[in-house]
């Protein structure tokens, strides 16, 4: 059975990746699973300088979902390269680095530094809803998004470039098209949906940041629809993210048009989710008599 | 020996109107916990509630792990329905527990409400020179009173309304103890877990008297093992994860 | 205790309304609850001509939510006025009619006919995601939305005009502002979020319409955030909709800035939801020692 | 007498690997159901699963309502956990049931799989001139075999693999019956509930032989009482609600 999928020039041994911000820098999961088994590890968003993140409370639970406003806390490029990347390099798994900046120049510097270190891929976080100065304007402004992507594209040679899209739009296909036209090798979607919860006893937002991003099974139907729309609008591969809890959900995304999927919130509930999903996909394909996983990508039938 | 494992519910006994004693038996080989560590417990098998819930372990017997929990919201309400024989997923032991008191120190342990669970795991390990304080609003909310009596250290029980033990708060008893053995006060070492108001009061007292110690803190958690950065608390060294660097922090490092 | 709230010129005896499409024409619930108790009844969307709706399956369940693609099935204006409105008139409850059309002219004709029959309010459905020709373009195009609202506004005299907003945008506050500036007396939000689910056994969409609208508790955090954003952008009242299952949820919306709320999907699970929510709000206010419900509207505290 | 009421689980007994017999006792005065009607049953107390699930009533005793259900997905899986004494919300009786056969008609009742639940409620009311057919894949999936024997009408049981009763499908038996009493065939009246494939086959047979009858249909339901328009099926008179105008429809009105 062949689980291999291709995202741009990257060959993944299976379509199961981790979603940025939910898998730390990989180390946190090494005691639970064999990291070699993953298609790719996408690490927590990295900025040029370390960021301390938002004050607590940073998370809360909602029906079949959770809100987070971590505020992009990260150790910064330098410490990432010095302390975290060497560890990840030990595994036979692709390493994709999620990056975020305030300006196009920030993104370019990050991308170049990471290409120099030969990471396997770069995922542009243009869509994180939690910090005002951050990538968010790129994620909702088509022109800016195009300029950002082509800027980064030109500044790096062959490293895989993925653009991660913002779900809060009525025309995801247009953003997908811009990513493709500006030189993105793939798109990933969706990031969390901006949301909010209030503690009605004390009349305060449950998050110190007031709003946060909704993730988990609650958003999966929205994510599947967006992946379906985006994958019909572009030729580059689409990576499906949002509420994948098990292999059935992963298969749903792939039938909708995703070439690979990322597992986020599920890792918190069950740190073995990713490998259980890989096993589950294999079992499903066996049951269905399918030898090559690419046969299910976008295989949705109509009427 | 994975920290993610399945466990069987041995029993789930109501201790009072709000709290239960839950006994779980790991179905796989599991690590032994250190005092102050905690576990993430799966509360149901649907996605609502979604996340596991963190609980300090109360006691570790040769085969089982015990927890003391209070029903607070929908997760703990579901836990009340755990039935003998049911199998659930849990993660642990997690976090960094209480450092042992160095020789010559007098440990003063304070467990407010369900905070006694975390404190008890330490109390059991201390053979002498220890005071254990447990307080609650009223008699019905006290926990593990019998177990406290069996400890080697000296234990004090108090209720806000005086319905059992001394009338007053753990903080008042703490003050008395510190006054009584005042000559040695800097050789006291405080360990506390409980409601925020209690910890803030203890923290003030400790600062006033120049006494060191450790608090076990709570914060909302998604993962419990350091991956989500959701459980940050402010310390003098910046944000720290309650689930990894904590839940136990030196009192003087906590920024309230 | 005073539960009265005002939406434009309408005085509602309490802030609990029904959400269009989830309460039929009221009759279906009369055996379960006393319709007189409701703040207002918003009926299923009405078009000039009857619409037969989408082929089945029309609904499916998702984590803490459901998808629907009813396709705006309705009996049309004439039969509504002849068969349904007289029944609703018997109750001491405001009647608000959700309307939808293909053109601004359609909306105007509907609004005028309904004003002639002295319904208490008109809710413009510019946001239903299920029919291609329907209101959807109004809901995502700011210019069109403005023209639609001012067109309808000018054509009717005093009937309350509510615009129901589409959640699939990154700038709900702009749509809210346009509704206000174009003469809407209030806005209601959110409608369902476009979404999709796939049956992985047969590789087909779970809905015959392929996509549908997500409703239920899953979307509440998104709805609360949008209500909060919208209510800070406009002075007209905001009506909060999305996943209100109980009085706690209703109060959450009101703290976020809603003057009233609509109960949708909850009616299906428990046909008594609306009255239980009214009772629950009353209990909450009593416990908190609040005499007038307006004191909680937008009362969210920060920091 | 509201159709939305609380009921207590009296028992929830496994009948075979896939199916259970659920007995509920209304805690409030409840309406009596007519054959072919159904109830919406709450399967859990979280929002995942969210919606109630529709089930035909199988039997109504003086105090209780009984259901036969098969475990299919997450809702019915939770129902398997219903414990004696548990209290759940249900809505019903709902929908329009089977019209009684007019005098002189011979009723042929067909229940495929769990479809027997809906059919049984009618079968119990018919005193004579009735055939009752029940089929399943294999012996283990047959339901209510003993109850069927106790009926006044003549009952036939078949399995696809011949492991119990006749080997074959209900449709084959139906054909035989229709052939045997062929002189009267237009005085046969078919009532059927079961898998779509079975209903389509029966429908073809009925059309061929010019026999009238009624099918009980299934469709996904959100409310069950006519409010959501989610359960539409196509009929010659346009879309109709399975939960209100149905679940029972005249065979010739159904558009496949
Ligand atoms: C390290 C650690 C150890 C703990 N040990 C124990 C213990 O031994 N015994 C015990 O009874 N409780 C303990 N708790 C608290 C326990 O985790 C919460 O009471 C529980 O998660 C509530 O879940 P719920 O679904 O019932 O409440 P929810 O419905 O989620 O919320 C109800 C209320 O519970 C409180 N709460 C919810 N989650 C947390 C959380 N993660 N931390 C603190 N408060 C929370 C909030 O104030 C909230 O208003 C511990 C918490 C932490 C972080
Ligand atoms: C009027 C009516 C009467 C019914 N009577 C009975 C009965 O007496 N005994 C019995 O066992 N079942 C009966 N059903 C079917 C029963 O409602 C479904 O099996 C049940 O809802 C499945 O729920 P789930 O959560 O386990 O499945 P889900 O996880 O929701 O889905 C699992 C599978 O079950 C099927 N299913 C789900 N919902 C429905 C539905 N509403 N209608 C049909 N199929 C569905 C689908 O094929 C789906 O793939 C009846 C259905 C209707 C509409
Ligand atoms: C705690 C947390 C932190 C996250 N941090 C990032 C991040 O740094 N960069 C990013 O692009 N996405 C981040 N995300 C979004 C996830 O990568 C993912 O897009 C989203 O959670 C939806 O997937 P899920 O439902 O599987 O979790 C974060 C999500 C969570 C829950
Ligand atoms: C079955 C169904 C039918 C609906 N029909 C309409 C409609 O005709 N017009 C409209 O404006 N909204 C319609 N809605 C949207 C609801 O009014 C409401 O905005 C949405 O369901 C979110 O609220 P909830 O989560 O409380 O259900 C419909 C929703 C459902 C579930
Ligand atoms: S709970 Fe996830 S990092 Fe602490
Ligand atoms: S299930 Fe709602 S109308 Fe039939």
Q: For the segment C259-273, what is each residue's pLDDT rounded down to a tens digit?
A: 999 999 999 999 999
Confidence of residue A126 (pLDDT cuts 50, 70, 90): confident
DSSP states of C106-152 as a string?
HHHHHHHHHHHTT-SEEEEE---TT-SSSTHHHHH-HHHHHHHHHHH
For a mutational test of ligand 1's pocket, the pick from B73, B81, B193, i.e. the residue with the most ligand atoms closer than 8 A to its C-beta, is B73
* Residues B176-180: contacts with CB under 8 Å, at least 24 apart: B177/B108, B177/B131, B177/B133, B178/B108, B178/B205, B178/B209, B178/B211
Contact residues of ligand 1, CB 6 A cut-off = A 61; B 38, 49, 53-56, 67-70, 72-76, 114, 117-118, 218-221, 242, 247
- List chain A residues with CB under 8 Å of C302: 204-205, 210
Confidence of residue D150 (pLDDT cuts 50, 70, 90): confident
Task: Tell me: pLDDT of C131 over 60.
Answer: no
Q: For the segment B120-158, what is each residue's pLDDT rounded down to a tens digit?
A: 999 988 877 788 889 999 888 888 888 888 888 788 888
Phi, psi for residue A100 in degrees, rounded to 5: -150, 145
Beta D188-193 vs D212-216: how paired, if at all?
parallel
State which fold the D4-94 domain adopts: Elongation Factor Tu (Ef-tu); domain 3 (2.40.30)
Instruction: Among A83-87, A131-135, C104-108, name the one with the lowest average pLDDT.
Output: A131-135
Mean pLDDT (whole number) for D90-96? 97
For ligand 1, the distance from its centroid to the CA atom of residue B114, given in whole angstroms, is: 10
Mean pLDDT (whole number) for C77-89? 96
d(CA C122, CA C163): 8
Contact residues of ligand 4, CB 6 A cut-off = C 19-22, 44-45, 68, 70, 72, 98, 125, 128, 164, 191-192, 215-216, 219, 241-244, 263-266; D 228, 230
Q: So what's the pLDDT on residue D203?
A: 93
Q: So what's the pLDDT on residue B188?
A: 83
Phi, psi for residue A157 in degrees, rounded to 5: -90, -70
Q: So what's the pLDDT on residue D184?
A: 63
Task: Tell me: pLDDT of C134 over 60.
Answer: no
d(CA A212, CA A206): 10
Q: Which one of C66, C73, C245 has the shortest CB-CB distance to D51?
A: C66
| Residues D47, A217: C-beta atoms closer than 8 Å | no
Residue B240, ligand 5, Cβ within 6 A: no
Q: For the segment B67-90, what is each residue's pLDDT rounded down to a tens digit?
A: 999 999 999 999 999 999 999 999
Confidence of residue C129 (pLDDT cuts 50, 70, 90): low
- Bridge partners of C204? C199
Confidence of residue A140 (pLDDT cuts 50, 70, 90): confident
Put simply, whether B195 touches D (Cβ < 8 Å) is no
A128 as an active site residue: the answer is yes
d(CA C65, CA A65): 11
Residue D232, ligand 6, Cβ within 6 A: no
Report yes or no: A175 and A145 within 8 Å, Cβ to Cβ. yes
- List chain A residues with CB under 8 Å of C222: 193-195, 214
Phi, psi for residue D155 in degrees, rounded to 5: -115, 145
d(CA B185, CA D188): 98
Q: Whose C-alpha lies nearest to ligand 4, atom 3?
A: C21
d(CA C101, CA C125): 8
Residues from A in contact with B at Cβ < 8 Å:
21-24, 28-29, 31-32, 44, 52-53, 55-61, 63-66, 68, 70, 73, 216-217, 245, 265, 267-272
Enter the tokens of residue D52.
Answer: 């109630």
Instruction: Among A245-249, D7-11, D130-134, name the one with the lowest average pLDDT.
Output: D130-134
Task: Tell me: pLDDT of C133 over 60.
Answer: no
Task: Tell me: pLDDT of A134 over 70.
Answer: no
**CA distance, residue C64 to nearest chain B CA (Å):** 7
Confidence of residue C132 (pLDDT cuts 50, 70, 90): low
Report yes or no: A219 and A247 within 8 Å, Cβ to Cβ. no
**CA distance, residue D191 to nearest chain C CA (Å):** 23
Q: So what's the pLDDT on residue D185?
A: 62
Domain boundaries, chain A: 5-53+71-194+214-296
Q: Is A177 helix (H, G, I), strand (E, B) or coil?
A: helix
- The burial of C92, by beta-carbon neighbours within 10 Å (0-12 exposed, 13-18 middle, 19 or more buried), is given as exposed
Q: Quick one: which ligand is closest to B120's CA?
A: 1
Choose, from C60, C64, C128, C301, the residue flagged as catalytic: C128
Put simply, whether B49 touches D (Cβ < 8 Å) is yes
**CA distance, residue B99 to nearest chain D CA (Å):** 40
| Residues D44, B46: C-beta atoms closer than 8 Å | yes
Q: Whose C-alpha lies nearest to ligand 2, atom 28?
A: D73
Q: So what's the pLDDT on residue B176?
A: 84
For a mutational test of ligand 6's pocket, the pick from D225, D233, D246, D249, i.e. the residue with the most ligand atoms closer than 8 A to its C-beta, is D225
Report yes or no: B143 and B115 within 8 Å, Cβ to Cβ. no
Residues ≥6 apart with Cβ < 8 Å to B242: B95, B217, B218, B219, B221, B231, B232, B233
Residues ≥6 apart with Cβ < 8 Å to A282: A1, A3
Choose, from A60, A64, A128, A301, the residue flagged as catalytic: A128
Which pTM does this prediction carry? Answer: 0.96
Confidence of residue C127 (pLDDT cuts 50, 70, 90): low
Q: Is D246 helix (H, G, I), strand (E, B) or coil?
A: coil
**CA distance, residue D105 to nearest chain A CA (Å):** 40
For ligand 4, the distance from its centroid to the CA atom of residue C21, given in whole angstroms, is: 5
**CA distance, residue B44 to nearest chain C CA (Å):** 14
Q: So what's the pLDDT on residue A129?
A: 52
Q: So what's the pLDDT on residue D187?
A: 82
| Residues C197, A224: C-beta atoms closer than 8 Å | yes
Put simply, whether D47 touches B (Cβ < 8 Å) is yes
Q: Which chains touch C (3 or more CB pairs under 8 A)?
A: A, B, D
- The burial of C118, by beta-carbon neighbours within 10 Å (0-12 exposed, 13-18 middle, 19 or more buried), is given as exposed
pLDDT-above-90 percentage for chain D: 65
Q: For the segment A86-108, what is each residue's pLDDT rounded down to a tens digit?
A: 999 999 999 999 999 988 999 99
Q: Which chains touch A (3 or more CB pairs under 8 A)?
A: B, C, D
Q: How big is chain C, counted in residues?
A: 303
- List chain A residues with CB under 8 Å of D48: 63-64, 217
- Chain-centroid distance of CA C16 in Å reads 11
Residues ≥6 apart with Cβ < 8 Å to D73: none
**D49: nearest CA partner in chain A:** A64
Q: Is A107 helix (H, G, I), strand (E, B) or coil?
A: helix
d(CA A193, CA A216): 10
For ligand 1, the distance from its centroid to the CA atom of residue B217, given in whole angstroms, is: 11
CATH number of the structural domain B105-253: 3.40.50.80
Residue A216, ligand 3, Cβ within 6 A: yes
ipTM, two decimals: 0.95
Find, among C209, C270, C214, the residue nearest to C245 by Cα. Answer: C270
Report yes or no: C52 and C73 within 8 Å, Cβ to Cβ. yes
Locate tokens 């017999």: which residue?
D21
Q: Across chain C, what does the average pLDDT equal?
A: 94
Domain boundaries, chain B: 4-94, 105-253
Q: Whose C-alpha lies nearest to ligand 2, atom 19?
A: D72
d(CA C220, CA C243): 5
Interface-testing mutation among A64, A216, A246, with chain D (most D C-beta atoms within 10 A): A64
For ligand 3, the distance from its centroid to the CA atom of residue A204, given in whole angstroms, is: 24
Beta C65-68 vs C211-215: how paired, if at all?
antiparallel
Task: Tell me: pLDDT of A133 over 70.
Answer: no
d(CA A116, CA A111): 9
User: Which DSSP symbol is given to A82?
Assistant: I
Q: So what's the pLDDT on residue D192?
A: 95
Dihedral of CA atoms C252, C258, C261, C266 in degrees, nearest 10, equals -30
Q: So what's the pLDDT on residue A290?
A: 97
Interface-testing mutation among C225, C242, C247, C265, with chain A (most A C-beta atoms within 10 A): C225
Mean pLDDT (whole number) for D141-159? 86
Q: For the segment D38-83, what is each residue's pLDDT rounded down to a tens digit?
A: 999 999 989 999 999 999 999 999 999 999 999 999 999 999 999 9
Q: Is C51 helix (H, G, I), strand (E, B) or coil?
A: strand
**C217: nearest CA partner in chain B:** B48
Locate tokens 């379509």: which residue?
A15
Find, among C118, C120, C113, the residue nearest to C39 by Cα. Answer: C120
Ligand 3 atom with minimal separation from the A244 CA: 26
Mean pLDDT (whole number) for C233-257? 98
Does an H or E element contain C172, and which?
helix C172-181
For a mutational test of ligand 3's pocket, the pick from A22, A43, A129, i.e. the residue with the most ligand atoms closer than 8 A to its C-beta, is A22
d(CA D196, CA D218): 9
- List chain D residues with CB under 8 Å of B44: 46
- Under CATH, domain A5-53+71-194+214-296 is a member of which superfamily? Aldolase class I (3.20.20.70)
Find, among A246, A250, A267, the residue nearest to A259 by Cα. Answer: A250
Task: Tell me: pLDDT of C77 over 60.
Answer: yes
Helices (H), chain D: 74-79, 115-123, 145-149, 170-180, 196-209
Q: So what's the pLDDT on residue D235?
A: 96
Q: So what's the pLDDT on residue C168?
A: 84
d(CA C9, CA C17): 16
Q: Which one of C65, C171, C198 has the shortest CB-CB distance to A255?
A: C198
Q: Quick one: which ligand is closest to B59's CA?
A: 1
Confidence of residue D130 (pLDDT cuts 50, 70, 90): confident
Q: How many CB atoms lie within 10 A of CB A156?
A: 17
Beta strands in chain B (DSSP E): 4-14, 19-26, 38-41, 53-56, 59-60, 65-70, 87-94, 106-112, 130-136, 154-159, 166-167, 188-193, 212-216, 232-235, 238-241, 248-250
Report yes or no: A46 and A99 within 8 Å, Cβ to Cβ. yes
Q: Quick one: which ligand is closest to A44's CA?
A: 3
Signed CA dihedral, D168, D169, D172, D176: sign only:
positive
Q: So what's the pLDDT on residue D152?
A: 81
């Amino acid at each position: 059975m062949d689980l291999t999928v291709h995202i741009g020039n990257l060959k993944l041994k299976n379509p199961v990746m981790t979603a940025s911000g939910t898998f730390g820098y990989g180390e946190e999961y090494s005691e639970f699973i064999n990291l070699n088994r993953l298609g790719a590890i996408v690490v927590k968003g990295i900025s040029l300088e370390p960021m301390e993140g938002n004050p607590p409370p940073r998370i809360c639970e909602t029906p079949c979902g959770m809100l987070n406003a971590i505020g992009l806390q990260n150790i910064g490029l330098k410490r990432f390269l010095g302390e975290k990347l060497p560890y990840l390099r030990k595994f036979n798994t692709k390493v994709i680095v999620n990056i975020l900046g305030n300006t196009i120049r920030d993104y370019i510097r990050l991308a170049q530094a990471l290409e120099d270190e030969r990471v396997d891929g770069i995922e542009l976080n243009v869509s994180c809803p939690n910090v005002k100065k951050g990538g968010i304007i790129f994620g909702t402004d088509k022109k800016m998004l195009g300029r950002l992507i082509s800027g980064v594209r030109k500044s790096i040679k062959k490293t895989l470039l993925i653009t991660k899209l913002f779900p809060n739009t009525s025309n995801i296909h247009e953003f997908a098209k811009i990513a493709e036209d500006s030189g993105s090798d793939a798109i990933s979607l969706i990031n969390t949906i901006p949301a909010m919860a209030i503690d009605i006893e004390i009349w305060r937002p449950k998050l110190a940041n007031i709003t946060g991003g909704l993730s988990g099974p609650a958003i999966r139907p929205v994510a599947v629809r967006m992946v379906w729309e985006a994958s019909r609008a572009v030729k580059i591969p689409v990576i499906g993210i949002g509420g994948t809890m098990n292999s059935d959900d992963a298969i749903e995304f792939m039938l909708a048009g995703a070439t690979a999927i990322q597992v986020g919130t599920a890792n918190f509930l069950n740190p073995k989710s990713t490998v259980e999903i890989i096993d589950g996909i294999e079992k499903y394909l066996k049951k269905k008599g399918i030898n090559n996983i690419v046969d299910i990508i976008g295989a949705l039938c109509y009427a | 020996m994975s920290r993610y494992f399945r466990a069987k519910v041995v029993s789930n006994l109501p201790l009072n109107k709000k709290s239960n004693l839950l006994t779980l038996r790991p179905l796989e080989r599991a690590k032994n916990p250190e005092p102050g560590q905690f576990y993430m417990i799966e509360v149901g098998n649907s996605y609502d509630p979604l996340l596991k819930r963190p609980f300090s372990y109360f006691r570790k017997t040769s085969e089982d792990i015990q927890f003391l929990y209070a029903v607070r919201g929908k997760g703990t309400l579901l836990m009340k329905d755990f039935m003998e024989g049911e199998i659930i997923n849990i993660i642990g032991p997690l976090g960094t527990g209480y450092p042992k008191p160095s020789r010559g120190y007098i440990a003063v342990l304070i467990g407010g409400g369900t905070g006694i669970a975390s404190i008890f795991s330490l109390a059991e390990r201390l053979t002498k020179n220890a005071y254990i304080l447990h307080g609650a609003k009223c008699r019905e909310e006290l926990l593990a009173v019998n177990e406290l009596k069996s400890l080697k250290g000296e234990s004090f029980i108090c209720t806000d309304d005086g319905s059992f033990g001394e009338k007053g708060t753990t903080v008042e008893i703490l003050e008395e103890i510190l006054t009584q053995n005042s000559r040695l006060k800097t050789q006291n070492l405080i360990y506390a877990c409980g409601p925020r108001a209690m910890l803030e009061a203890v923290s003030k007292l400790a600062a006033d008297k120049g006494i060191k110690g450790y608090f076990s803190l709570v914060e909302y958690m998604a993962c419990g093992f350091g991956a989500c950065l959701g459980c940050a608390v402010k310390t003098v060294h910046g944000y720290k994860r309650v689930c990894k660097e904590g839940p136990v922090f030196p009192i003087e490092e906590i920024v309230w």
